Amino acid sequence: MAQPEAYISGIGQSEIGQRLTRHPLLLTLDAVKQALAEAGLTIGQIDGVSTYPGKSTGYLGFSPVGADELVDALGIRATWHQGAMEISAQLGAVAAAAMAVRTGQARHVICFRTVYEAAAIARPEDYPSSRGKTVEGFSQWFAPFNAISAACWVAQYAARHMHRYGLTREQLAQIALTDRANALRNPAALVREPLTMDQYMAARMITTPLCLYDCDRFTDASTVLIVSAGDALDEVGCTPIRIAAMAGSVERHSWDQAEWMASYATGPDLWKQTDYSVADVDTVQFYDGFSFLALSWFEALGFCPVGEGGHFIEGGRRIALDGELPFNTFGGQIGAGRLHGFGFAHEAVTQLRGQGGERQIAGDPRVAVATSGGGPLAAALLLARD
């Protein structure tokens, strides 16, 4: 018997801001209600919940709402739920939900990612960081050398790319410039000011070669995607978007022992799951918590050869909103805010449904790729409107 397919039905997003005062559970509720309304579903029809990375006790702003909590808070009778960090990457939570509906564990799964990092920094009394006096786990291999931020780890991959393949800052700039240009057409985006190449080149360095504009910013928001089973679509009122393939491969779970980031294993593995190829893709939404990660996804997924990412995006025409491969049409995390992975799938669905408004790409887009992660974290979804 053929397994039912998995689809994304309703999607929703709360206000995106910094230092918001609305409770993070209520931001999640805002996104849930929007997604339910779009799908024509009621909360009583939801029987699954999936999130990444689960409630974060070490640093509450990173993930202030867990799957257990949402089940209980919204009165959901769940036949399946999960909220784990040890999964391929942020969008691995969506992939897990797809597996749940394909195996009959649930029919309609709320997948959510709620971030509250800007608010938590502003109100540490309510959202404390309980980081201890010592570092352990994988942090012990970075923090003692003051490689505190993921920026430091990604920078080493970016610097090596420049050294080995000749990537330039002017080429890399096209990630941030495209993000920021697209964010100007997204009324919900966090950063709505133009960015020029001159501003980029003059920006202060965070950690070479990454400058201020190569990095996303702490954000408060919640994003929801409902994953529905193919045999439950008669209950869904919006255009379903099929999860045509998904992948999340890793060869070494480490930020410094691996020659390549996990994206480079994940990209080829995605195409093994489908008859679609890169030529069929109408738009890409690539994780850009740091700009270089997005550049690496172009290579990893085979849009260009490894090492050619800089040439591929040079000048920015190809990946512009009206280019041949529109990229991060909502502004990515650099423009729209650090939605932490889920924004890319949310936007892919928006574009495939033709609901992008001022930023809607031309033609009749039917196939999109959404990714999340960097370093040892990688998840890719191929989304299609049949």
Site residues (CB under 8 A) for another protein? 133-136, 138-149, 151-153, 155-157, 159-160, 163, 204-210, 254-257
Q: Which residues pair with 48 in a beta bridge?
A: 80, 109
Residue closer to another protein (CB basis): 141 or 312: 141
Q: At how many degrees (to 10) do helices 291-300 and 263-271 cross?
A: 40
Task: Give the CB-side neighbour count of residue 59, counting CA atoms within 13 A.
Answer: 10
Residue closer to another protein (CB basis): 145 or 322: 145
Local structure of residue 217 (DSSP, 8 states) = -
Check: CB of residue 372 under 8 Å from CB of residue 285. no
Q: How far is the CB of 351 from another protein (least distance, A)?
A: 34
Residue closer to another protein (CB basis): 149 or 360: 149
Round to whole Å and give the CA distance between 351 and 340: 19
Q: How far is the CB of 255 from another protein (least distance, A)?
A: 8
**Number of Cβ atoms within 10 Å of the Cβ of 55:** 17
Residue closer to another protein (CB basis): 99 or 159: 159
Residue with tokens 């993921």: 150
Residue closer to another protein (CB basis): 39 or 155: 155
Residue closer to another protein (CB basis): 185 or 338: 338
Q: How far is the CB of 251 from another protein (least distance, A)?
A: 11
Element (H, E) at 32: helix 24-39
Round to whole Å and give the CA distance between 378 and 173: 22
Residue closer to another protein (CB basis): 152 or 188: 152
Structure tokens at 212: 């201020």
Q: How far is the CB of 161 from another protein (least distance, A)?
A: 9
Q: For residue 210, what are the CA distances in angstroms to 21, 74, 228?
A: 31, 41, 39
- Dihedral over Cα of 144, 148, 150, 152: its sign: negative
Structure tokens at 137: 């786990």
Local structure of residue 254 (DSSP, 8 states) = -
Local structure of residue 290 (DSSP, 8 states) = B
Q: How far is the CB of 213 from another protein (least distance, A)?
A: 14
Over its C-alpha atoms, the chain yields an Rg (Å, rounded) of: 19
Round to whole Å and give the CA distance between 170 and 212: 14
Round to whole Å and give the CA distance between 146 and 330: 33
Residue closer to another protein (CB basis): 172 or 246: 172
Residue closer to another protein (CB basis): 34 or 139: 139
Q: Name 339's Cβ contacts closer than 8 Å, sequence gap at least 6.
A: 13, 16, 113, 115, 219, 221, 223, 333, 346
Q: How far is the CB of 157 from another protein (least distance, A)?
A: 7
Q: How far is the CB of 167 from another protein (least distance, A)?
A: 13
Q: How far is the CB of 204 from another protein (least distance, A)?
A: 7
Q: How far is the CB of 135 from another protein (least distance, A)?
A: 5
Residue closer to another protein (CB basis): 138 or 312: 138
Check: CB of residue 178 under 8 Å from CB of residue 327. yes
Round to whole Å and give the CA distance between 340 and 206: 20
